[in-house]
């Protein structure tokens, strides 16, 4: 979703509600993650005292494979993000989103935010025991005799 920001930059007090979903077919290109549901984005963009702020909530469900036991599972995620949007910047920083052409690609920003927020190690449960190194038994489901010999 591309949002035109000219009116938001020009009018103090201007506000725009955001409530939409990024469909699954637009999320297919990401090899590192498998989306089960569309990405829901809710929030607002507001110009308060000349400062344009974006506040969004992003929620979605991912299909995962546990890094320890290789079990398939699903997990729901819900993140809040806040950004200050500027027309231009004198310096390069990560604190502001620069929109020189006054158009914000909200899909790109939301997906970038959520990918950076995801944990690097994905476990089916916090205390996952993983697989036996000898026989490959999933130790969450049953024990094996390999470690006793």
**Confidence at 92, pLDDT banded by 50, 70, 90:** low
| pTM over 0.85, yes/no | no
Give the lowest-confidence range in 10-19, 53-62, 85-94, 137-146: 85-94
Residues whose CB is less than 8 angstroms from the CB of residue 128 and which lie 6 or more positions away in sequence, other chains included: 66, 68, 69, 140
Question: Which tokens hold the place of 93?
Answer: 């920083």
pLDDT score, position 103: 87
Conformational region of residue 68, where left means phi above 0, alpha means psi within -120 to 50, and beta covers everything else: alpha
Cα–Cα distance between 141 and 144 in angstroms, integer?
Answer: 10
Residue 47 contacts residue 84 (beta carbons within 8 Å): no
Domain ranges of the chain: 2-148
Conformational region of residue 130, where left means phi above 0, alpha means psi within -120 to 50, and beta covers everything else: left
pLDDT score, position 149: 52
Residues pairing with 62 in the sheet: 35, 75
The mean pLDDT of 33-62, rounded to a whole number, is 93
Looking at residue 30, the DSSP 8-state letter turns out to be -
User: 58-62, 96-100, 101-105, 137-141: which has the highest mean pLDDT?
Assistant: 58-62
Q: How many CA atoms, within 13 angstroms, populate the side-chain half-sphere of residue 146? A: 12
Assess whether pLDDT exceeds 60 at residue 137: yes
């Amino acid at each position: 979703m591309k949002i035109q920001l000219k009116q938001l930059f020009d009018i103090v007090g201007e506000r725009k509600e955001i409530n939409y979903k990024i469909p699954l077919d637009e999320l297919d290109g990401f090899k590192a993650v498998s989306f089960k549901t569309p990405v829901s984005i809710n929030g607002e963009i507001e110009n308060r005292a000349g400062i344009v702020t974006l506040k969004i909530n992003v929620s979605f469900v991912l299909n995962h494979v546990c890094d320890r036991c290789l079990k398939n599972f699903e997990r729901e995620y819900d993140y809040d993000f806040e950004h200050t949007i500027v027309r231009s910047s004198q310096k390069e920083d990560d604190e502001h989103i620069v929109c020189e052409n006054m158009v914000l690609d909200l899909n790109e920003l939301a997906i970038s935010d959520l990918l950076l927020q995801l944990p690097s190690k994905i476990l089916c449960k916090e205390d996952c025991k993983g697989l036996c190194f000898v026989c490959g038994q999933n130790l969450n489901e049953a024990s094996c005799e390999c470690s006793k010999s």
